[in-house]
Amino acid sequence: MKIAMVGSGYVGLVSGACFADFGHEVVCIDKDQAKIDRLHAGVMPIYEPGLEALVETNVKGGRLSFTTSLADGISGADAIFIAVGTPSRRGDGHADLTFVYEVAREVGENLAGDAVIVTKSTVPVGTGDEVERIIRDTGTRHRISVVSNPEFLREGAAIGDFKRPDRIVIGAEDDFGREVMREVYRPLYLNESPILFTSRRTSELIKYAANAFLATKITFINEMADLCEKVGANVQDVSRGIGMDNRIGSKFLHAGPGYGGSCFPKDTLALLKTAEDYDSPTRIVEAVVKVNDSRKRAMGRKVVDALGGVDAARGKKAALLGLTFKPNTDDMRDSPAIAVAQTLMDAGVAVAAYDPEGMEQARPLLPEVTMCDDPYAAIAGADVVVIVTEWDAFRALDLKRVKELANAPLLVDLRNIYNPDDMAAAGFTYLSVGRG
Ligand code: UGA
């Protein structure tokens, strides 16, 4: 199969490299010349474990190439994936579909043969209909089918998620679309990954429903964590106790500082907007968005309280370990660390920070934070150490050294990666989330 991937960002690049690894011939297209030049030189635009090696192998094998020319890239393609960004539109939270529609028009104008056009970007219900209309309006004489195929990749685990998916969802309205997509995913079919065929609108909604449900699960356990602290219960045991019920499931029940990233915050907002437009309110998701937003600053206040309250905290220093919204990514989008750092600085606390991959992206977002080269440099002289992101590098800190370097043995663990008894034994005042 020949596959064109329009948009060489996170989703496009990972999907393109994985499809190539399955043996398909893949061209990744992006109008950003600098990005394509870097890809030609083997430099990845994002940090994702395993991606660089995967790209290198498949470029060498002649199955993966890059271009800025959409016309060249889609020529002869059986399937053309649209994997460009859909940021939140300024002001109303709607997904901004400008790039998707631009690509659709350009694809229509440059089609040189029959093709299935696949929206892989997360797009609101009905976008596939509009993409089809735009392509048909270009007057193309070729047979097309517009299909929805949402991605469920997690940053940091994207290649594994792509190659061993829980399911593949394909929303197609005709046999041409279904048959081409079956071929595209045949290598996974052999792995017995289930393929769910649905209507196009259903497939578009599945993506939002999945992310909104996961965001709800996280927010639910975060509120249970707060309750645990009040009643003297342990949220990790609550998670285990409910997660062992197969109807609930154990995943995404880790309490923490609130969800962030490029997907959950944006997609929940976009779902709310769609629900409003169709006059079908989704009040649970509304509550999830509000609760999660206020949680991030509340975590900053938790640290201020640990320092003895607003008056005592002024002039003190906090060391933040981890800035990205989760480990194994350099992505800072909507990271809880931003709100935590801001709340601390608003209270007059000086903030030093270290993150294994996210510092470059964090710097412009947090210009007043002192960025350090390693965790211990951030900890030196700190009145409180705060674990914000659960990078492996923070799971086995040299606690003796932490105590020697810090001003006080006070550690706030927003990800529950340490054991309260061990920390007490090591002489720390240790606060975590939901372990009252
Ligand atoms: C999420 C989904 O998990 C993917 O299936 C989906 O494809 C992707 O969004 C997307 O729409 O593109 P991602 O944003 O990479 O993936 O990250 P997650 O691993 O889902 O984590 C999201 C946030 O939830 C992080 O801030 C994480 O720390 C938080 N989280 C996750 C918790 O606080 N507790 C948990 O138990 C799990």
| Predicted confidence band of residue 190 (pLDDT cuts 50, 70, 90) | confident
- The CATH number of residue 360's host domain is 3.40.50.720
**CA–CA distance, 302 with 308 (Å, rounded to integer):** 10
Asked whether 321 and 378 are in contact (CB, 8 A), the reply is yes
**CA–CA distance, 403 with 318 (Å, rounded to integer):** 14
Residues 157 and 223 in one domain: no
Domain boundary among the residues 148, 181, 198 is at: 198
| Residue 284: φ, ψ to 5° | -65, -45
Tell me what pLDDT residue 86 has.
87
> Nearest C-alpha to atom 17 of ligand 1 is from which residue?
154
Mean pLDDT throughout 234-258?
98
Active site residue 228: no
Mean pLDDT throughout 276-303?
97
DSSP tag of 67:
E
**Ligand 1 atom nearest to CA at 267:** 11
For the cut 90, the answer to whether the pLDDT of residue 192 exceeds it is no
Q: Name all residues whose Cβ lies below 6 A of ligand 1.
A: 122, 151-155, 211, 214, 218, 252-254, 256, 259-261, 263-264, 267, 325-326
pLDDT in tens, 41-87: 999 998 899 999 999 999 999 999 999 999 999 999 999 999 998 88
For the cut 90, the answer to whether the pLDDT of residue 40 exceeds it is yes
Tell me what pLDDT residue 94 has.
80
In what side-by-side order are the strands of the sheet with 429-431? 370-371, 350-354, 317-321, 384-387, 410-413, 429-431
| Predicted confidence band of residue 436 (pLDDT cuts 50, 70, 90) | confident
pLDDT in tens, 321-366: 999 999 999 999 999 999 999 999 999 999 999 999 999 999 999 9
Q: What is the model's pTM?
A: 0.94
- The domain tally of the chain equals 2
Best mutation site among 214, 271, 389 for ligand 1 pocket (most ligand atoms within 8 Å of CB): 214
**Ligand 1 atom nearest to CA at 334:** 26
| Of residues 65, 79, 147, 64, the one with CA closest to residue 113 | 79
Query: 412 is in which domain, residue-wise?
Result: 200-436
Domain boundary among the residues 176, 198, 220 is at: 198
Mean pLDDT throughout 192-218?
97
Best mutation site among 11, 86, 154, 329 for ligand 1 pocket (most ligand atoms within 8 Å of CB): 154
| Predicted confidence band of residue 407 (pLDDT cuts 50, 70, 90) | very high
**Gap from CA of 87 to ligand 1 centroid (Å):** 17
Residues 221 and 77 in one domain: no
| Predicted confidence band of residue 393 (pLDDT cuts 50, 70, 90) | very high
Tell me what pLDDT residue 341 has.
98
**Ligand 1 atom nearest to CA at 390:** 28
Tell me what pLDDT residue 89 has.
79
| Residue ranges of E strands in 149-285 | 168-171, 195-198
Tell me what pLDDT residue 424 has.
97
For the cut 90, the answer to whether the pLDDT of residue 236 exceeds it is yes
Best mutation site among 161, 213, 218, 331 for ligand 1 pocket (most ligand atoms within 8 Å of CB): 218
Which of 18, 28, 228, 263 is labelled catalytic? 263
**CA–CA distance, 4 with 170 (Å, rounded to integer):** 17
> Nearest C-alpha to atom 1 of ligand 1 is from which residue?
154
Residues 74 and 108 in one domain: yes
**Ligand 1 atom nearest to CA at 336:** 26
Residues 120 and 254 in one domain: no
Please list, in sequence order, all residues whose beta carbon lies within 8 angstroms of the beta carbon of residue 294, skipping any fewer than 6 positions away. none
Domain boundary among the residues 175, 198, 221 is at: 198
| Predicted confidence band of residue 294 (pLDDT cuts 50, 70, 90) | very high
